[in-house]
Structure 1
Amino acid sequence: MIETHPLIAMIHAVPAGARIAQSAFAEEFPEARVWNLLDDRLLEDARTVGGLDGALRRRMLRLIAHAADGGARGLLLTCSSYGEVVDTARTLWGIPVLKSDEAMFRAALAGSYDRLAVVASTPPAVPAAVAQLESLAAEVRLDNPVQIKTALSEEAAVADSPEAAARHLADALHAAGAAEAQAVLLAQYSLTPAGGALADLLGVPVLDGAGAAARELRTMLLGDLAQTAAVS
């Protein structure tokens, strides 16, 4: 029997990611009951040790265990830095566990795009996103390779409005020769508010991780109910 109001746990490393994910789920998966778990030391501790060590991996897995034991029917990690623990979590718990941008990458690769751009406002987000996108592309696009270009705008991180952030991102994409992409992927949840303005500036679709994750979990957990609602 399908649970019509499943409990979805989201593990956040920054409050901004929590707000954006909640907004996306309210719009894309309104049936979900959202449970937010915030550990605002995760990123700082990872920077201190130079990445994910055994202690940090175990800490994240304990948070996932807490969510699963608490009745979560699906789980989303909104911080891309901790995506690598998802593979382990999937072997330990029988619930859908998504990396922050996994659904967005799958949606992009499932489309007809063969030129994609990845844009970020912090340097570590670029290689992390590209590595995951290339890994998925190798699995699902063997006969139709995708060209990936990247752009970085640290100015977008301190912009005073989504519109200003979008202008910085567009400038960075143009400077990197990535503005001719058929779709742009936002490598951080914090850039989601700029997505609409960026799409207007570039004239191409701009995909964000939070909305894509909400849609994918809704389809996974509600199945035919989600499909029926989408066409009604």
Structure 2
Amino acid sequence: MRVGLLHTVPALAPLFHDLLRARRGDLDIVHVVDPALLADTIAAGGVTDEVAARVRGHVESLARAGASKVLVTCSSIGEAAERASADTGVSVVRVDAAMAGTAVDRASSAGAETGRVGTIAVLATLEATLGPTVRLVERALTSADVRVTATLVPQAAEARADGDGATHDRLIAAAVGATDADVVVLAQASMAAAAGGDTRVLTSPESGATAFVDELGAVV
């Protein structure tokens, strides 16, 4: 079975390739990597119509190449991915969709157990990612009694851009430790390495890959 992956961070291509193949060894995976999508989204403060059109173009290209389903691994362009799916009819999965649902379930359960409102803290290193992820989590709330907060981790993105992964991870870990939320959502797949052993933390690579492969069972 051939599937497509759209990335904006080059380092995520081999990571997700291995995650998917570990879950389903017969997959024929086609990758598209376009860092300019993220750079332009950051520069504009969000997804522009031009970025959305390029995302749609990549999705259509992957479908023409024979991909039966497409996984978009960048949370910053997640809403553009949903628009592309609606516009083209191609099955597109946001990498953070499964994580959002799990976050709501866990926070709701934690609140019910203690007789209070459950809490979710969404952390991001990029302002362009924070809004889309928070909106995704809030959309998953439905009737759940859960409060969602959003925090930008200062200087982490700059450290990563400078090649200082250790500082990037340390700043994120400090932000995780500073919140008392029931659930902590790391909005970007590139933040996953900073999760540490805190059981409250949810990241998108593992959950996104698992959900994507699970959905393939319904694809003919």
Q: So what's the TM-score if we normalise by structure 2?
A: 0.79
Deviation (angstroms), 1:31: 4.1
Describe how 1:1-232 pairs up with structure 2 within 5 A.
6-111=1-106, 112-113=109-110, 114-137=118-141, 139=142, 142=143, 144-157=144-157, 158=159, 160=164, 165-175=168-178, 178=179, 180-195=180-195, 197=196, 200=197, 202=198, 204-222=199-217
In the alignment, the residues of structure 1 paired with residue 29 and residue 95 of structure 2 have an alpha-carbon distance, to the nearest angstrom, of: 16
In the alignment, the residues of structure 2 paired with residue 165 and residue 102 of structure 1 have an alpha-carbon distance, to the nearest angstrom, of: 24
Q: 1:50 to 1:188 in 2, by over 3 A?
A: closer
Deviation (angstroms), 1:60: 1.3
> Is the 8 Å Cα contact of residues 125 and 153 (structure 2) preserved in structure 1?
yes
Q: 1:115 to 1:52 in 2, by over 3 A?
A: closer
Alignment deviations for residues 181-230 of structure 1 (CA, whole Å, 9 cap, x no partner): 222211111111222x2xx2x4x23221121121111111126xxxxxxx
> Is the 8 Å Cα contact of residues 118 and 151 (structure 1) preserved in structure 2?
yes
In the alignment, the residues of structure 2 paired with residue 46 and residue 57 of structure 1 have an alpha-carbon distance, to the nearest angstrom, of: 10
Deviation (angstroms), 1:106: 1.7
> Is the 8 Å Cα contact of residues 118 and 186 (structure 1) preserved in structure 2?
yes
How many residues end up aligned between the 2 structures?
A: 205
> Is the 8 Å Cα contact of residues 10 and 78 (structure 1) preserved in structure 2?
yes
In the alignment, the residues of structure 2 paired with residue 206 and residue 22 of structure 1 have an alpha-carbon distance, to the nearest angstrom, of: 23
- Structure 2 gap segments, 5+ residues each: 111-117
Q: So what's the TM-score if we normalise by structure 1?
A: 0.75
Deviation (angstroms), 1:47: 4.1
Q: 1:54 to 1:122 in 2, by over 3 A?
A: closer
Alignment deviations for residues 17-42 of structure 1 (CA, whole Å, 9 cap, x no partner): 32433343244444432211011211
Deviation (angstroms), 1:101: 1.1
Q: 1:89 to 1:123 in 2, by over 3 A?
A: closer
> Is the 8 Å Cα contact of residues 152 and 172 (structure 1) preserved in structure 2?
no
In the alignment, the residues of structure 1 paired with residue 127 and residue 79 of structure 2 have an alpha-carbon distance, to the nearest angstrom, of: 18
Alignment deviations for residues 94-115 of structure 1 (CA, whole Å, 9 cap, x no partner): 4431123112112222443432
Counterpart of 1:41 in 2: which secondary structure?
Answer: helix
Q: 1:12 to 1:161 in 2, by over 3 A?
A: closer
Q: 1:100 to 1:42 in 2, by over 3 A?
A: same
> Is the 8 Å Cα contact of residues 107 and 212 (structure 1) preserved in structure 2?
no
In the alignment, the residues of structure 2 paired with residue 30 and residue 161 of structure 1 have an alpha-carbon distance, to the nearest angstrom, of: 30
- Structure 1 gap segments, 5+ residues each: 1-5, 224-232
Counterpart of 1:154 in 2: which secondary structure?
Answer: coil
RMSD (Å), alpha carbons: 2.6
Deviation (angstroms), 1:93: 4.2
Alignment deviations for residues 65-104 of structure 1 (CA, whole Å, 9 cap, x no partner): 0011111121111222222223333334444311231121
In the alignment, the residues of structure 1 paired with residue 85 and residue 181 of structure 2 have an alpha-carbon distance, to the nearest angstrom, of: 33
In the alignment, the residues of structure 2 paired with residue 108 and residue 27 of structure 1 have an alpha-carbon distance, to the nearest angstrom, of: 24
Counterpart of 1:36 in 2: which secondary structure?
Answer: strand
